[in-house]
Structure 1
């Protein structure tokens, strides 16, 4: 009976994976809420040390999160909205500049044939949209309200995330205890140790890397705005978001800032380009010497190529839900592969040398 029960795990796991695949469209708010609970649990635990109840600590953490989001919405969204409108308006002129100055220079340097660059259709499409409306927010709201079902689903997700996140955060410790009691007694110590290593990797990456992204986005946005780049806030936030993959934020942000500076100043102006280089140099030095050692440490172990592959694979397989699950799954897989490598090096397959036939041995 025991052996038969063991084999039941295989169809059980397959059924669980199949159900998760079917429920992918509704999993996003629950995963976001779980992420919020995971990030907020250390703060709640610290507040409980001051003799606060678990519920009161959760309320305080949620209130702090809400105030931060409200401040960002009040201060950041109007500024970002104006820059998006500005980008939408100058896009045709940017394409003209690319087609008349930047791309011909690249074409000459690379020896490309005439007519290689075809931006006329893109420019006409953008110009037509700009002529129809200059209000991006109105256009977005119009498309959103065109489908009442989509709008209702979006509002439901917005309401579900804080509600589910509150209850998960309040009962997080109890949920972890109950999950531990369900583990098979014989392998519980091994599973707990593996879960602890996964927690170290996930905690270091999720909490640390998000703070690094926030810090870099702030440095880039403020620095580019100080040197007078019109789209500095937008480019800085883009570079900060892209910093989820090491060095990608620097590459994407610096390239976008250089192109925006060349277009804004009409050519190769030395001082604006030096300002862009200085901003990104300060960002990289701050990240390498302060942000990453202080906030992330050396416990991640996720190679940049692994991060890129995990995000792309998750998005390809499960859309937005897959993107949310990609990095946690990659971290868990990395821990498992590390232990599999240790077990392999302890096995006879690795340690026992191959026997050499007697007739092929060299004479002594």
Structure 2
């Protein structure tokens, strides 16, 4: 798609107007344009227009701000759009205004700003871009404070926390001081809101990449119980099996419902997989008979349509737990996998 240079110039002039009545129709045009692939690709090739729309994300006129937020959010659904956002936001002027908008009383602006940040942080480069702005742990702590207030307009902050934990520096912030921030995310694994649960699950999964913290994570059964509880159903287990589980997962009531969102289940199983990276982690998961929960989870989900990836992840962990450990390798992250095997595993995972 291409716009004639005269038409493009006219649109730029409309966006540069100081009159909201002139700006709004132009923003409406770009908002509609961003809903198509060709339109989106056109917008992320126009730096002047994109930067002006970014400025409007914090415009005093909320209707214009919402249109600009929708346009940039649509663009950031595309990986190229996210990279273009970062290129236009080198000084974090837009990212700063998005976080500033959380102080806005307009719930629509707050939710739209959170959605845009969530889109930007889905890829690791975007997560690093946002981390560079919120590097100060005080800002992170203030975000967590408004998140745990449990107000509906802030619930999707959980998705941002899960995304930015792709960055090692963020994971260390979450895990420092005996997991002061990390521990506050655990109750949200069982929250009634699916976005809260998904963000918390991704946060836990990503933090489990930090193998230096596994000993702390598994010093007792509390963190493991928080991960396992959503994966458990109301199956009748033997007394021996129940007694071997973390105490909060023992003898669950007959009306206990298992997590139903596939992405959340996969993230939690992947967290268990990462905890299996070290010998100490594998020993702990065996001690608390995690296999029993995964066995029942597999039975309950294996026949669901489109569940191949979930089944793959569950079977990965089960095979580790019931298999023999490589005596010469304590940390599986350091285990060298032959190229032909690695290729086959990748093909299976992407199938």
Same fold flag (TM > 0.5): no
TM category, shorter: under 0.3
Q: TM-score, normalised by structure 1?
A: 0.22
Larger radius of gyration: 1
Per residue, is there more helix in 1 or in 2?
A: 1
Q: TM-score, normalised by structure 2?
A: 0.23
